[in-house]
């Protein structure tokens, strides 16, 4: 009976030197990938305004957009800006992970390592939610395609 009434022991994890080297190397790759993501987001932002201006200047290009033609230049600009945001936010989380992870490993700063893991958790949560949303869209597109095939 005494064993059931014991207070739970605090679990302490130990970060070994091998784990620290892994986190340090992951931080370097995360920094590289985040910078590439920032560059791609910047290109998408610049492209969004460029393609919007090109569509406004040349209405013949709008006809080549197919289903996006109804949205016009402003719609295409908004789509590109949303794509840029989809690149920027995960890149920002990776960059934060990189900085905090490197600081935590190099200086033995537990709070920085905690912040790094929080950013990594947020990154995976973002991609999980995004993946679920894409899967739902695929399912809806398949339903619409099937419905259009039945009507034909």
What does the pLDDT look like over 34-86, one tens digit per residue?
999 999 999 999 998 888 788 778 777 777 777 666 677 788 889 899 999 99
Q: To the nearest 10°, the Cα dihedral for 100, 102, 105, 110?
A: -10
How confident is the prediction for the chain on average, in pLDDT? Answer: 89
Looking at per-residue pLDDT, the higher value among 103 and 8 belongs to 103
Share of the chain above pLDDT 90, in %: 62
Residues with Cβ < 8 Å from 68, sequence gap 6 or more? 75, 76, 79
Q: pTM (2 decimals)?
A: 0.80
């Amino acid at each position: 009976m005494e064993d059931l009434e014991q207070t739970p022991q605090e679990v302490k994890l130990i970060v070994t030197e091998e784990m620290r080297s892994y986190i340090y190397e992951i931080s370097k790759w995360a920094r590289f990938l985040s910078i590439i993501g920032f560059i791609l987001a910047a290109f998408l932002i610049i492209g969004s305004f460029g393609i919007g201006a090109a569509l406004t200047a040349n209405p013949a290009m709008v006809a080549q957009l197919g289903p996006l033609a109804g949205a016009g230049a402003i719609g295409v600009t908004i789509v590109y800006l949303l794509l840029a945001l989809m690149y920027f936010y995960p890149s920002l989380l990776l960059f934060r992970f990189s900085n905090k992870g490197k600081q935590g490993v190099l200086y033995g700063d537990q709070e920085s390592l905690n912040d790094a893991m929080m950013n990594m958790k947020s990154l995976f949560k973002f991609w999980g939610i995004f993946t679920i949303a894409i899967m739902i869209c695929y399912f809806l597109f398949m339903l619409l395609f099937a419905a259009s095939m039945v009507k034909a």
